[in-house]
Amino acid sequence: MSVVEEQIQEALALKPSSLDSFWQQVQTRFAYTHIKELRKLRRLSLDDSNSKSQSVIDLKQQLHLEVMELIKQQRLNFMVKGSKLQKKKTKGPLYIRLSRNHKVLHYGNYRDSNSIPSMDSLKEKIRVEEIISLPTGKHLTTGRGGAAKNSFSVETQNNGKLDFSAETLEEMEMWIDGLNILLGKEPTSTQAKSDLENLLSIEMSIRLLDTCQPDFYTPRTSTDTTTSTRL
C-alpha cells in the first residue's frame, strides 16, 4: 500500500462528515510525512526486544542507567517516609524510618496510625555502616519451624540481629531493595525488575516518538473553495 493510499484509508476510517473534514484529517492527523514516520516506528518496533539497530541498543543502555537511578531514588524516598513493621519478640507494631542523610535507621514503638512519627520519637537506631547482611524470609523461620512470611533480618557488626516482618511482600521488597542500595548493591527484587521493565519500555517509546516528530502541512480552512474540486 502506498503512503497516499494509507492516508486516504486512515482518514476515511474516521468517517468524516464532509470533504473539508476529510482533507483536514489527511493534511494534519495523517499528513504524508506523519505516515512515513509511523512506518519507520513500526520497523523499529517500539518494544525493541528484537531490534538489532545499534542506535536503539545504545539508547536502551543509556535509559537503563537513568531508569535504575529513578528506581533507587524512589526506594530511598520510601524508606525516609518509613512504614509500620512487626519486630520479632515485641508486642505491637514498630515504625521504622531512614534518616534524610541516609546514614541511620530509626525505629520504635508505634501507636498512632494517623500520623508519621518524627525521627526523635523513634528511640532505637541502626547505623547503616554497621549492617553486614540482609537475610530474607526463606532464610528465616517462625517459632513453629515454618518459613517466616514477608520477613527479613538486619544483621549488624558484633553479631547484632533484628528480625522484621512486613504486612505485604511488596513492602518487604521495598525495604530489601532500599537496604541493598544503601549497601552499594543493585535492587534485585521481583518488583524492582518489573518497575525497570515497565519504565524502560515507556521511556523507549517516548524517546523514539520524539525522534520522529512529523512536519504537518498547514490545514485547509472551511472557506477554501478549492477543497471540493480535489476529490
Q: What whole-number distance in Å separates Cα of residue 208 and Cα of residue 45? A: 10
The answer to whether the beta carbons of residues 215 and 30 sit under 8 Å apart is no
152-187 residues labelled b (16+ CB within 10 A) or e (exposed):
bbbebeeeeebbbbbeeeebbbbbbbbbbbbeeeeb
The confidence score (pLDDT) of residue 141 equals 47
The confidence score (pLDDT) of residue 69 equals 93
The confidence score (pLDDT) of residue 202 equals 80
pTM: 0.64
The confidence score (pLDDT) of residue 159 equals 82
Question: Which regions of the chain are under pLDDT 70?
Answer: 1-11, 13-14, 16-17, 21-53, 89-91, 113, 137-148, 208-231
Q: Which residue has the cell 524502560?
A: 200
pLDDT digits (tens, 9 = 90+) for 188-217: 999 999 999 888 888 877 776 665 544 433
The confidence score (pLDDT) of residue 28 equals 61
pLDDT digits (tens, 9 = 90+) for 39-67: 666 655 555 444 556 777 777 788 889 99
The confidence score (pLDDT) of residue 99 equals 95
